[in-house]
Structure 1
Amino acid sequence: MTKHSPYSTVFKTMVIGIVLTLVVSPQSYAQFTPGYVVSVTDGDDSYGNKSPRIAITDQGEVVVFWMRTGNEAFYLSRWDGQGFSSPSQIPFGGLNPNLWSGSLGPNFATGNGHMYVTFEVYGDAIYITHSGDNGLTWDDPVAAFVPPQGRRATIPTVAVDADGQPLVAYVNTNAQEGDAHYGLVRSSDFGASFSAEAWVNEIAAGEEVCECCNGDIAVSPNGDIYVAFRNNDANLRDIWVARSTDGGLSFSEAYDMDETDWVSGVCPSNGPHLLAEDGAVHAAFFSASSSWGSGVYFSSLDPLLGNVSSTLTLPPAQEESSQQNRPRIAGSGDTLGVVWQESYNGSLEIGMSFSTTGISGLGSDQGLLTELSGSQRYPDMLFHDGKFHVVYEDVSSGTVLYQAVHPGLVGMEEEQLSFSIFPNPVRDELNYQMMTQGPIELQIFDALSRSCGAYSGLTGSGTLNLNTLTPGFYHLRVHTENGETSVIRFIKE
């Protein structure tokens, strides 16, 4: 059912300009437009709002998972483009799961028609529950990992591979929460049983991890498994990424992603978030390094060469803000976004940095998604259908809030040619119109500069069929008979 709530209001006006006319040598800058704010439960706080997670099904359906404390419960709701469905409850079989804050667990993932929730019963086991019909029905929970006597397993996270099979990672400690390492188990029967534990951080410096920080799992398009975690090498708590090329059975590579060199004798209860794509693995994380300062940082790994980029500082959305923390990353190709929470005017707000030019554009365009009363915290985000989808806790309403964030380009001081395209964004058919004589050649490239189509001998006006393109940002390159070449960007929805 479609929800209409008092939160369905534009709280911050940011104008987006879509370039509809071809330009020569444009000077342009990225801008994002936060959509209206929606309460997932239409303002009803009886469902709780703890630690929301957002995911996309294989049918392109946006789903939100969250928890209720007190009378503990897990909930799921679906977005239909206008509002959210009534929440459905996910059973956990009479167990008593520990409900931590932020990314510490439980956690949720979906893929290839399957959904999974992983949670812990501290001192007992890491559990997982599975749905094989995109959340309509759920199996009884299964123990994914039972620690041996004298050990504890905590802070689970979950990811799903291309076949819909789950991977579960967690911190494995002794009874005093020392001697901590990161473990991972995987299933080949949709969560009915799990493999023996793989030691994720075995070749990272010091061979011990932060005992109370979450990790994150990302599955790359080629099937490689990446696990990010906060290491603990004699209190040096850098962010590392381990790589598995055998589906998570072993981890033969590990990379220090973090130049901030944060030394802390106190566990920060705060870990990284990953985005894995062909040719790049991106990490966003928090550090309170005395030399770099407390804030949100970003780095990338080239898995082919084994090179790690320099660590990038992401400024807060407002200069006067403090306590920037809890980053999450999403994107596709050159379109990247990072959200976080920061303290502004005495309350927590959700900030975001966004780029359509890859890593180089991050940190140059950031802003607050809202300026609601009270605090908003613990965001999560995905990128789908040409826009970012963000959820977060709202303390004042006691509900989960959702926003879509639309990236775009605004051109300045542009010299126009007599060529135009419409609509932009486009779904299936892109119309073009040329007011001058002479043939032109059109080429389409995706955000990674890969050719997606070429058209020659075009004159006048016509239509390009784009229904085979996946959603995202594209470049339309135009060559005129006079030798002029220029580019216009468009969004495929």
Structure 2
Amino acid sequence: MARTAHAHAHARPAIGLVAGLAFAIAPTPPLADHEAQNRIVWQDPGEVARGEAYRGPWRMNASEFRYVDDASVAINDHGEVVVVWVDQVEQAILLQRYDRDGQAVLDEPTRIGGEPDTFSWLPRVAIEPPPDDEDAFTVHLLWQEILFTGGDHGGEILYARSRDGGRSFEDHQNLSNSRDGAGKGRITAHRWDNGSLDLLLAAEGQVVAAWTEYQGPLRVTYSSDNGESFAEPETINEGAYKPARAPSLAQAPSGRILLAWSEGDSPYADIRIATSDELGEGFSAPATAVETPGHADAPSLVVDDGGTVHLAFGAIPANDLEDYRQPYHRRLHITQADADTLEFGPANELDAGDWPGGFPTLARSADRLYLVWQRYQHPTDRPYGLAFTHATLDTLAFAPVEPVPGTVDRPYSGGLQGQLKRRMAVNAAGEIAIAQSRFVPGSHSDILFIRGQVQDR
């Protein structure tokens, strides 16, 4: 009975959240003049997959879930895109590949199954630039598998690799081998987001995976042979009294690996960070990247070619902490640091107008930052639509916030298992790929794929 009770709690997506800042908030960053700022030209959204829209009561892996969900995306510098999502009926991850013109490459989506008869949730995908043979590039996939291996909470972190452009996958590897609900990012003992994991392709064939577990440990493992095998996981936050959640990985030009995360079980939590200059020698002791008087949440990291770290996260103003778990109260903040010193400046609150929310995905091209996040209209509402803005790296002046096409014409969008996901990818040339899940009660569920690019004026 204990397992059933905990599992049912886990089925309620924790819409947890971020909170007020304990450091001095810098003035809102300037918005670029709308006429002077390069605009984004969006292509019409395309439907990747469609399913029913039924979600029965939580009965662990016997639950009757009939919908598609959990979209994630990657793009390489050739403009090729991979979209992955979950089919809850099949309890499996599916993958489709698109060429630069937006045409599907695979006749049928590739099915990536984990363990039989268990749910696969909230994947991350990373792809390498293709060599001369367009089908020979490698696709790396990481996801949360709802396996119960002795603890009250189900969750393992599985990895699989394709070496033929996503047409087929090798057998998966269990990276976590945990009894403690791997992939859960706890906000409170009864609320959390699933999908608390991240995947990074680093230099020289290194693949890095990070995840958190229900009780709070933050684990990292890596492969030095392009995903063939992985090292024993390292615990980054040993002895921490707050549970870690929402890890985000990035690499600096020097080769340094950066790992940021947020904390749960308290309205007073900071963004934490650790680094590794040599993966085989482990990570540094955790440090506070951004100190807040409230609960900062769901960081997203990128590092530009000059070695500047850009960190986006949600935070609740210090005077609005009545329910730090509700993402409606979040406001997006951005701060920067040098990758060597990691001395972050004051965080700027983004002027999002009518588009408050959280769970940001930050990405960059050679000369620009791109930011997308999930919008919330009311404290009790589910998420509705994706908000988007961008800024040049030389000015960090953000364009007016706009909705992502196709994500606001239905009453609900976003994942049902949790909002921790990578919704957007951008390549060096500034080609944007966005994937979004939608669930329309009484109608259908679907996966959308939207492409865009900066259009010079």
Structure 1 and Structure 2 fold alike (TM over 0.5): yes
Task: Determine which of 304, 307, 316 is the counterpart of 1:277.
Answer: 304
Which one-letter code corresponds to 1:215 in the other structure? Answer: P
The answer on whether the counterparts of 1:52 and 1:380 sit within 8 Å (CA) in structure 2 is yes
Give the aligned partner of residue 27 of structure 2: none
Q: In structure 2, do the counterparts of structure 1 residues 199 and 31 end up closer, same or farther at CA, with 3 Å as the change threshold?
A: same
Does residue 1:74 correspond to 2:93, yes or no? yes
CA distance in 1, matches of 2:123, 2:232: 21
Shift of 1:114: 2.1
The answer on whether the counterparts of 2:316 and 2:331 sit within 8 Å (CA) in structure 1 is yes
The answer on whether the counterparts of 1:142 and 1:192 sit within 8 Å (CA) in structure 2 is no
Q: In structure 2, do the counterparts of structure 1 residues 326 and 89 end up closer, same or farther at CA, with 3 Å as the change threshold?
A: same
Give CA-to-partner distance per residue, 1:449-478, whole Å, 9 cap, x none.
Answer: xxxxxxxxxxxxxxxxxxxxxxxxxxxxxx
Is the partner of 1:229 in helix, strand or coil? strand
Task: Determine which of 120, 125, 135 is the counterpart of 1:108.
Answer: 125
Give the aligned partner of residue 139 of structure 1: 170
Which one-letter code corresponds to 1:399 in the other structure? Answer: D
Q: In structure 2, do the counterparts of structure 1 residues 65 and 152 end up closer, same or farther at CA, with 3 Å as the change threshold?
A: closer
CA distance in 2, matches of 1:258, 1:248: 27
Shift of 1:348: 0.7
Q: Within 5 A, what are the aligned runs for 1:193-342?
A: 193-201=229-237, 207-211=240-244, 213-232=245-264, 236-247=268-279, 249-252=281-284, 254-263=286-295, 271-278=298-305, 279-291=307-319, 294-316=330-352, 319-322=353-356, 324-342=357-375
Give CA-to-partner distance per residue, 1:143-186, whole Å, 9 cap, x none.
Answer: 22323xx65533432222233432121114xxxx43x2211011
Which one-letter code corresponds to 1:36 in the other structure? Answer: Q
Of structures 1 and 2, the one with the larger relative CO (CA 8 A, separation 6+) is 2
The answer on whether the counterparts of 1:185 and 1:248 sit within 8 Å (CA) in structure 2 is no
Q: In structure 2, do the counterparts of structure 1 residues 409 and 188 end up closer, same or farther at CA, with 3 Å as the change threshold?
A: closer
Give the aligned partner of residue 390 of structure 2: 354
Is the partner of 2:282 in helix, strand or coil? coil
Give CA-to-partner distance per residue, 1:309-330, whole Å, 9 cap, x none.
Answer: 21121232xx3444x1221111
Unaligned runs of 5+ in 1: 1-25, 265-269, 411-493
Q: Within 5 A, what are the aligned runs for 1:404-443?
A: 404-408=451-455, 410=457
More strand by percentage: 1
Which one-letter code corresponds to 2:350 in the other structure? Answer: L
Give the aligned partner of residue 44 of structure 2: 37
Is the partner of 1:107 in helix, strand or coil? strand
Give CA-to-partner distance per residue, 1:64-97, whole Å, 9 cap, x none.
Answer: 1111113212111122213334442233254455
Shift of 1:388: 2.1
Is the partner of 2:396 in helix, strand or coil? helix
Give the aligned partner of residue 208 of structure 2: 167
Give the aligned partner of residue 400 of structure 2: 365
Is the partner of 2:279 in helix, strand or coil? coil
Q: In structure 2, do the counterparts of structure 1 residues 53 and 93 end up closer, same or farther at CA, with 3 Å as the change threshold?
A: closer
CA distance in 2, matches of 1:145, 1:123: 12
Shift of 1:59: 4.8
CA distance in 1, matches of 2:197, 2:410: 32
Give the aligned partner of residue 487 of structure 1: none
Is the partner of 1:306 in helix, strand or coil? coil
Give the aligned partner of residue 466 of structure 1: none
TM-score, normalization by structure 1:
0.65
CA distance in 2, matches of 1:192, 1:274: 26
Which one-letter code corresponds to 1:214 in the other structure? Answer: A
CA distance in 2, matches of 1:93, 1:369: 32
Which one-letter code corresponds to 2:197 in the other structure? Answer: P
Does residue 1:88 correspond to 2:135, yes or no? no
Shift of 1:381: 1.1
Shift of 1:285: 1.7
The answer on whether the counterparts of 2:126 and 2:140 sit within 8 Å (CA) in structure 1 is yes
Which one-letter code corresponds to 2:299 in the other structure? Answer: P
Identity %: 21
CA distance in 1, matches of 2:204, 2:157: 22
The answer on whether the counterparts of 2:200 and 2:209 sit within 8 Å (CA) in structure 1 is yes
Shift of 1:373: 3.2
Q: In structure 2, do the counterparts of structure 1 residues 321 and 91 end up closer, same or farther at CA, with 3 Å as the change threshold?
A: closer
CA distance in 1, matches of 2:256, 2:177: 25
Q: In structure 2, do the counterparts of structure 1 residues 142 and 261 end up closer, same or farther at CA, with 3 Å as the change threshold?
A: same
Give CA-to-partner distance per residue, 1:372-419, whole Å, 9 cap, x none.
Answer: 233333671122233322221233452221222332455xxxxxxxxx
The answer on whether the counterparts of 1:337 and 1:354 sit within 8 Å (CA) in structure 2 is yes
Which one-letter code corresponds to 1:136 in the other structure? Answer: R
Larger of the two Rg values belongs to structure: 1
CA distance in 1, matches of 2:108, 2:246: 27
Which one-letter code corresponds to 1:82 in the other structure? Answer: G
TM-score, normalization by structure 2:
0.69
Q: In structure 2, do the counterparts of structure 1 residues 116 and 240 end up closer, same or farther at CA, with 3 Å as the change threshold?
A: same
Q: Within 5 A, what are the aligned runs for 1:11-26?
A: none
The answer on whether the counterparts of 1:327 and 1:339 sit within 8 Å (CA) in structure 2 is yes
